[in-house]
Amino acid sequence: MTTPKNAKNAAKAPRLRITDTTLRDAHQSLWATRMRTDDILQILADVDNAGYYSLECWGGATFDVCLRFLRENPWERLRQMKAIARKTPLQMLLRGQNILGYRNYADDVLYRFVSLAAENGMDIFRVFDALNDNRNLEHALAAVKKAGGHAQGTICYTVSPVHTVEKFVQIAKEQESMGADSLCIKDMAGILSPAAARELVGALVRKLKIPVQLHCHMTSGMAVASYYEAVQAGAGAVDCCVATMSGYSSQPAIETLLAIFEDAGYMTGVDHHAVEKENAYFLALKPKREPTHGAVEVVDVDVLEHHIPGGMISNLRSQLQQQGALDRIGEVLEELPRVRKDLGYPSLVTPTSQIVGVQAVMNILAGERYGMVPQETKDYVKGLYGRSPAPIDAKVAKKILGGEKPITCRPADLLPPRLPAAAKELDPKLIQAEEDILSYCLFPEVALGYFKWRALLPAERPLSPADLENAPKKAEAAPAPVAASVVDTSAESMRFAEIGRLVASLASQLGVTASSGAALPLVPVAVPAAAKPVAPAPEAAKAVPAAPVAVNGPTINAPLNGTFYRSSAPGKPNLAEEGTSVKAGDPVCIVEAMKLFNQIKAEKACRIVKFLAKHGDHVAKGQPMASIEWL
Ligand code: CO
């Protein structure tokens, strides 16, 4: 342990606590969340000895990637970590009523999840909601208190005309009154400037009795300066990670912060030698774990200008690429702030970043604003994710919801208890402990895939780290779910049947059949026999390209590249049958694109002569999906 060199009397030196995010946010930001349990355990004793305030080690992406790609049980990771890290509290990121997923879950799932996490070793729960809707935090904070954990409230920092210091303080005060033990300012996009940090932290410290912690990303390069101002203004703790794992979209380096604050007379209690060992360890591990793809930039200048997180821009790029429309990125980036404004300025974090991003893409590709609306946008406008920071534009809400009224209650109040049904759905042979039911509730398809894989393991011998390393190669080959998505269907190994189940699961999770909001204007196009084939997107090109279909007469065409479905879920009837007639606005089929499900509706009354694509086929934008006759 070191003594701050400028401190005349160490006992009187101001204290700064450091949370190490190396085991969660840092590798999620830089290594596509690919750190393995064995990677962590080997260095954990040293990390535990370093004198950090807490170790952030669990969250939505770590949990999901454990099951999906690493073939590890995240609960087992937690127990193994706790067995070694006996001195430093373990910390997790909890998405409020979304727990670790992308939508609201029933209260019984939330309470049991938190209770099991605490029993297995979790100490500090950082609880946030993308909309800063405290109704979505209330029960999560209560669950943590009930389980004896430290409940940290959170304000998601964003910039908009309605996100004022007064508003943030009011949200934080409410969380304090709900029982929060401390408060975190979560700057996921790295856009909190030093001056803003000073003002916001100063106001919070004056109005709150609980301590304030700061969580920034280095994306724009401002985080170190913001930390300095925030701590001067009274923040008691900051989030950092070791140098190797720091920078760009990750946190600032612990080493930098120690140098700055110890020189300024602060006592951190952090052992420099232990940090050195930790950093050397991850430096050696880096070549094995760092993804080979992905641009490594030092500072993302875009985020300084339009406050759109870097991860979101790369996500939009890849979505547009899949649609063969990368050249429209400029229009989408201009549309995005408009959509955010229309939707009441949600902060751009999971899951609202996905909703705003995809809607902006849809508005540009459909050629009509809100002409094509995924179910998730409709749910958002309906209030099923919570209350938007500002009211949703009335005209937009009317266009998306039609006559439907938005809900005014806490979204989870509408959800019946889920655990009893979930337990019944699972094959008892696949389940080893109650925690498996929770994993299944949060990530149904992913957890089932893991359980089935686990059931095939030899019972007499646990897998060695080397076995595990090789086990998930196939799944690993698929693109990483780096960015938040409602459902990740990207695993190339996923067969169609599995995708079908995924559709069913998503539909049932949403409690509705997947459908889009407003009817998509389907312009009937007479396609000549030698129809000009639309250039398939890279995604579509991987599948068997649809043979050009000779069609005479009007057709319903795919509005964008995606996967064609005739029904909203397996076991559900087709939306329309060949030879039958449909009215204007009736659903005809589904095109799944950008991980969201778009119901394609008839523009006018017509008879479906023949479907020109098979259930599960990739379809390219403009490709005829059904030949029709107008009525
Ligand atoms: Co973060």
Give the largest Cα separation in the chain, rounded.
89
8-state DSSP, 66: I
Q: Give the pLDDT of residue 97.
A: 96
For residue 196, pLDDT over 70 is answered with yes
Q: Give the pLDDT of residue 211.
A: 98
Q: Give the pLDDT of residue 297.
A: 63
| Least reliable range by pLDDT among 12-16, 223-227, 485-489 | 485-489
Look up tokens 């969340």; give the residue.
Answer: 33
C-alpha 128 – ligand 1 centre gap (Å): 11
Higher pLDDT, 515 or 360: 360
| Least reliable range by pLDDT among 208-222, 258-272, 462-476 | 462-476
C-alpha 55 – ligand 1 centre gap (Å): 13
Mean pLDDT of the chain: 84
C-alpha 346 – ligand 1 centre gap (Å): 17
The DSSP bridge pattern shows strands 212-216 and 587-593 to be unpaired
Confidence band for 526, pLDDT divided at 50, 70 and 90? very low
Q: Give the pLDDT of residue 231.
A: 98
Q: Give the pLDDT of residue 440.
A: 96
Q: Give the pLDDT of residue 481.
A: 33
Confidence band for 463, pLDDT divided at 50, 70 and 90? low
C-alpha 184 – ligand 1 centre gap (Å): 11
Q: Phi and psi of 610, rounded to 5°? A: -160, 140
C-alpha 136 – ligand 1 centre gap (Å): 19
Torsion of the alpha carbons at 279, 283, 285 and 291, rounded to the nearest 10: 120
Confidence band for 428, pLDDT divided at 50, 70 and 90? very high
SS3 (DSSP) at 405:
coil
C-alpha 185 – ligand 1 centre gap (Å): 10
pLDDT above 70 as % of the chain: 82
SS3 (DSSP) at 559:
coil
C-alpha 444 – ligand 1 centre gap (Å): 25
- What is the token pair recorded at 147? 């389980």
- What is the token pair recorded at 320? 């547009």
Task: Determine the Cα–Cα distance for residues 21 and 360; give it in Å rounded to an integer.
Answer: 32
C-alpha 426 – ligand 1 centre gap (Å): 34
Q: Give the pLDDT of residue 58.
A: 97
C-alpha 188 – ligand 1 centre gap (Å): 5
pLDDT tens by residue, 371-414: 889 888 999 999 999 999 999 999 999 999 998 999 999 999 99
The average pLDDT across 357-362 equals 92
Q: Give the pLDDT of residue 396.
A: 97
- What is the token pair recorded at 368? 């009509």
**Chain CA centroid to CA 510, Å:** 17
For residue 198, pLDDT over 90 is answered with yes
Alpha-carbon separation of residue 377 from 324, 341, 359 (angstroms) = 23, 14, 7
Cβ proximity of 616 and 500 under 8 Å: yes
Confidence band for 562, pLDDT divided at 50, 70 and 90? confident
C-alpha 24 – ligand 1 centre gap (Å): 9
Q: Give the pLDDT of residue 499.
A: 30
Q: Phi and psi of 565, rounded to 5°? A: -130, 145
Task: Determine the Cα–Cα distance for residues 522 and 390; give it in Å rounded to an integer.
Answer: 33
The average pLDDT across 568-591 equals 85
Look up tokens 């099923």; give the residue.
Answer: 384
SS3 (DSSP) at 206:
helix
Task: Determine the Cα–Cα distance for residues 366 and 373; give it in Å rounded to an integer.
Answer: 10
pLDDT tens by residue, 39-83: 999 999 999 999 999 999 999 999 999 999 999 999 999 999 999
Q: Who surrounds ion ligand 1 at CB < 5 A?
A: 25
Task: Determine the Cα–Cα distance for residues 253 and 261; give it in Å rounded to an integer.
Answer: 12
SS3 of the chain: helix, strand, coil, percent, to 5: 45, 15, 45
Higher pLDDT, 392 or 479: 392
C-alpha 41 – ligand 1 centre gap (Å): 22
Burial of residue 170 (number of CB atoms within 10 Å: 0-12, 13-18, 19+): middle
C-alpha 150 – ligand 1 centre gap (Å): 19
For residue 2, pLDDT over 80 is answered with no
C-alpha 339 – ligand 1 centre gap (Å): 24
C-alpha 216 – ligand 1 centre gap (Å): 7
SS (H, E, C) 574-594: ECCCCCCEECCCCEEEEEEEC
Specify the pTM.
0.78
- What is the token pair recorded at 562? 């995606």
C-alpha 250 – ligand 1 centre gap (Å): 7
Confidence band for 522, pLDDT divided at 50, 70 and 90? very low
The average pLDDT across 431-444 equals 95
Cβ proximity of 238 and 18 under 8 Å: yes
C-alpha 153 – ligand 1 centre gap (Å): 15
